[in-house]
Amino acid sequence: MALMGGPNFKKSLVTRMRKSWLRSNHRVRLTRDLTPIIQQLAGVVLDIGGGREAPLDAAWPAAAARYRIDAFPHIEPQLVGDAMTLPVRRDSVDGVVMCEVLEHLPRPESALAEARRVLRPGGLLCGSVPFLFAIHGDPQDYWRYTASTLQNLFAEAGFRDVVIMPHGNRVTVAWTLLCGEATWPRLLSPLVRRLFRSESAQSPEGYVFTAIASAL
């Protein structure tokens, strides 16, 4: 039997803290909004840039055959490939997920065209992008998108019924930027989320989106 103060307990406590307290408001909100969308997926679904131990892992339903695609082999995806040149046949999948991916691509329009190419007509594209958010990540962070820009990009790539949902507000944006890479200030993030719950279309931290592949 593991002791309460043993290493396994401490590791478990740190894991719980990271998942509930130390995660950024941006990540918590986009996970909240994407979870019910992911839970409705079925068939063959490409998770582009999904990584390992992603916050949305628990949301994936048994009805969806998830294939993670990433350009970095050390992530251990099922398929190694570039979002802008997917190694997948045309009209062969039922869903594509791009969570916090488009801002890292030098040619996001190519990635959306590729998503449309591999999706069957009526297939679902869903994901998220940051907006008022610090430069971050590896690979490069290239872009920030307004809702109008996303609408245009999806329409030009051959998608219809586009829904773009903002999350966050001026206060949560300011708090996220203030915390930066520091860990311990994030202990107050749950309180900030509770006190400032509104979503702002004018000053969002980011967007969650869904779009349906049109017939070509």
8 domain residue, yes or no: no
13 domain residue, yes or no: no
Q: What is the pLDDT of residue 55?
A: 79
| 13-61 residue pLDDT tens | 455 555 555 677 788 888 999 999 999 999 999 999 887 777 788 899 9
Query: To 10 degrees, the CA torsion angle through 23, 194, 59, 76?
Result: -10
46 domain residue, yes or no: yes
Calculate what percentage of the chain has a pLDDT beyond 70: 90
Neighbouring C-beta atoms of residue 165, cutoff 10 Å: 19
202 is in which domain, residue-wise? 23-213
171: alpha, beta or left? (left if phi > 0; alpha if psi -120 to 50) = alpha
Q: What is the CATH number of the domain that holds 92?
A: 3.40.50.150
**Going by C-beta distance under 8 Å and a sequence separation of 6 or more, which residues neighbour residue 119?**
91, 93, 94, 95, 96, 125, 213
Number of domains comprising the chain? 1
17 domain residue, yes or no: no
Burial environment of residue 178 by CB neighbours within 10 A (0 to 12, 13 to 18, 19 or more): exposed
**Going by C-beta distance under 8 Å and a sequence separation of 6 or more, which residues neighbour residue 37?**
124, 126, 208, 210
Q: What is the rounded CA–CA span in Å between residue 196 and residue 117?
A: 40
Q: What is the rounded CA–CA span in Å between residue 78 and residue 89?
A: 15
pLDDT of 108 > 90? The answer is yes
| 135-146 residue pLDDT tens | 987 779 999 999
Residue type, 148: S
Q: What is the pLDDT of residue 18?
A: 55
